[in-house]
Chain A
Amino acid sequence: MTDIDPSEYSDVWVFVEDHDGDVMSVSWELLNEAKTLVEETGEELVALVIGEDVDGVVEEAIARGADRVLVADDGVFEPYRADPYGEQFRAMVEERKPSIVLIGGTHTGRDFAGRVAVPTHAGLTADCTEIDVAEDGVLQARRPAFGGNVLATIICEEHRPQMATIRPGVFEAAPPENDRDGEIERVDVVVEEADTLTEVLERSTGETADVTEADRIVAAGGGIDGDLEPIRRLADALGAEIAASRHAVDEGWVDGSRQIGQTGKTVRPELYVAVGISGAVQHLEGMNDSEVVVAINNDPNAPIFDHADYGIVGDLFEVCPELADALEGAEQPEVTL
């Protein structure tokens, strides 16, 4: 076991996840939240940008709150692959010794975090929903555990860096301030294409819906039985985004980027309408902070009714279109940018 001296490690790093110049919004959420950590510790907030032709991303990272940006810009880093990203990250950690590293809990973020925590012997906590730092610099990484009924605080006292993946949508991003100053530092790229173990043959991403931004959401569960039409109809009437439970995503009825819950996103809209969703704790975790929750389910004993403000027991294929008709006269939401 390698003993390290935690006092040699400082600064908070945020991994900025970009795909071909498109940054996942969770990265900006983390950069904003991490400001409160460095205010506490008096350290630097460092954004880590790895990719190819990332100048735009680097500038935005400063505008979004980074004091310093570490840039590894090379063709070997586009598209993302765990092995070259892992090698590069390891070299940077060994050279610069960050105390805390925060990573968005997307598929890519979890793939990356799991890879890099091992060679650096970091403590890694998954899917955190709250973070703060104690006086001794120890990160308090909190995550729902045991099906969401308890909040566990995970700490890492003797190892560095202290790493955490954070669930998308839990924190809010700050708007960019274009006159902010920050340092840009280009690091040595330590990976060569010949050393990589993988090759991406094809990558296809459609629209990546950001349900975390929506003010109103209609969410589909297993009860829809593959028919999204009632959900679309109701969402149209409400001016709402469509989301889904894990069940509906696993069945392939709704894209995974719209999944709400423990392994999906956390949302806090003004209105959340759960349609044909039983209300498993894993799902509730992702939507419990919604202002108003409405449940439509044919099972009067479904747990979702205990977590809803208004509920109706009925066949969703009848209730949704009727409700859409009844609401059609209601005011449309103001457009928010």
Chain B
Amino acid sequence: MTHNPTIVVGIKQVPDDDEVRIDPDTGRLDRSSAPAVLNSPDRNALEAALGVRDDVGGQVIAMTMGPPPAADVLKEAVAMGCDDGVLISDIAFGGSDTWPTSLTLARTAEYLDADIVVCGEETTDSSTGQVPPGIAAHRGWAQLTYVEELEPLPEANQLAARRDVEGGYERVVADLPVVVAVAFGENEPRPAGLHRKIYAENEFEPVTVDANDLDIDEETVGLEASPTNVGGMETIEGVDRERTVVDDVDELAEAIRSTEVFA
């Protein structure tokens, strides 16, 4: 790198999981009433990116794709310490699945001249985790997913990371540019500073880019360009349980003993 890397953080506005209600009449999920919030794994991404800037300098730019109200999450990112925020907004992007979404974010990262792209592990509203590797694949960049810790190596123009792998960890070094997905809950996101917060609320205006700015052919994004479609939805039937709450431990032991497990 460059001792002053450009670090771009991909963030997303999602419905607040805790506020999604089930319509008592239809049994369906009502997401429309849920407030929109910053995807919580993205806080770990922002912290990791700001941590790299603490170590080696450079600038941190948050990017988000969505309609204009999604700019709210950019304000949060700027309040946390990001230098700037970019809203990627175009009617052409509507209905994109992970393929065109990662294309659009990859183009934006390139447009911003990113050395490092940092994302959260996955989003809470679709939980695929496909976008960070997708961004890397669209540009042929290196990728580091499930990252627990980052270590910039500016002299070598590389980034080292400790990754969580099944049953353990590995340490990997990657050439730049690189796309990082930070394992959820892996760091302690810093609180927004008061001055930054006032700036974000009152003065900050995000840069807005559309398909044209990013030189994206509208045929390659949106619903039509998405390989996957939702073919149907069905409500999952709950499992019928006894739901017997017992009063003491002996009764519980007796209940467990009486099940077929111990037959």
Please report A residues at the B interface, Cβ cutoff 8 Å: 1, 19, 24, 79, 81-83, 86, 106-108, 110-111, 113-119, 121-127, 140, 144-159, 197-209, 215-216, 250-251, 255-257, 262-263, 270-271, 288-289, 291-294, 300, 305-314, 319, 322-323, 326-327, 330-331, 333
Number of residue pairs A-B, CB distance < 8 angstroms: 261
Q: Which of B69-77, B164-172, B194-202 contacts A (4 or more CB under 8 A)?
A: B164-172
CA distance A156 to B174 in the complex (A): 33
CB neighbours (8 Å) of B241 from chain A are 293, 306-309
Main secondary structure of the interface of B (DSSP, over half): mixed
Q: Which of B47-55, B58-66, B132-140 contacts A (4 or more CB under 8 A)?
A: B132-140
Please judge, given known A-B contacts A111-B143, A257-B167, A270-B260, whether A150 and B184 are in contact too, CB under 8 Å.
no
B245 to A313, Cβ gap below 8 A? yes
CB neighbours (8 Å) of A145 from chain B are 126, 233
CB neighbours (8 Å) of B166 from chain A are 19, 24, 106-108, 205, 208, 256-257
Which residue in chain B gives the minimum CB-CB distance to A119?
B137
Pick from A204, A216, A271: contact of B170, CB below 8 A: A204
CA distance A146 to B132 in the complex (A): 21
CA distance A216 to B259 in the complex (A): 13
Q: Which of B3-11, B81-89, B208-216, B247-255 contacts A (4 or more CB under 8 A)?
A: B247-255
Pick from B131, B146, B242, B252: contact of A107, CB below 8 A: B146
CB neighbours (8 Å) of A151 from chain B are 233-236
CB neighbours (8 Å) of A116 from chain B are 137
Interface size class on chain B is 35 or more
Q: A152-B232, A257-B166, A310-B246 are in contact. List 13 more A-B contacts (CB 8 A).
A: A110-B133, A111-B143, A121-B227, A124-B227, A149-B22, A150-B236, A153-B231, A197-B142, A204-B169, A263-B122, A292-B260, A311-B246, A330-B262
A155 to B262, Cβ gap below 8 A? no
B236 to A144, Cβ gap below 8 A? yes
A110 to B142, Cβ gap below 8 A? no
* Chain B 88-106 near chain A by CB (<8 Å), digits 1 or 0: 0000000001110011000
A291 to B252, Cβ gap below 8 A? no
CB neighbours (8 Å) of B250 from chain A are 326
B37 adjacent to chain A (CB < 8 Å): no
B207 adjacent to chain A (CB < 8 Å): no
A147 to B219, Cβ gap below 8 A? no
B98 to A271, Cβ gap below 8 A? no
Pick from A198, A263, A271: contact of B172, CB below 8 A: A198
CB neighbours (8 Å) of A159 from chain B are 227
Distance in Å from the Cβ of B210 to the closest Cβ of chain A? Answer: 19
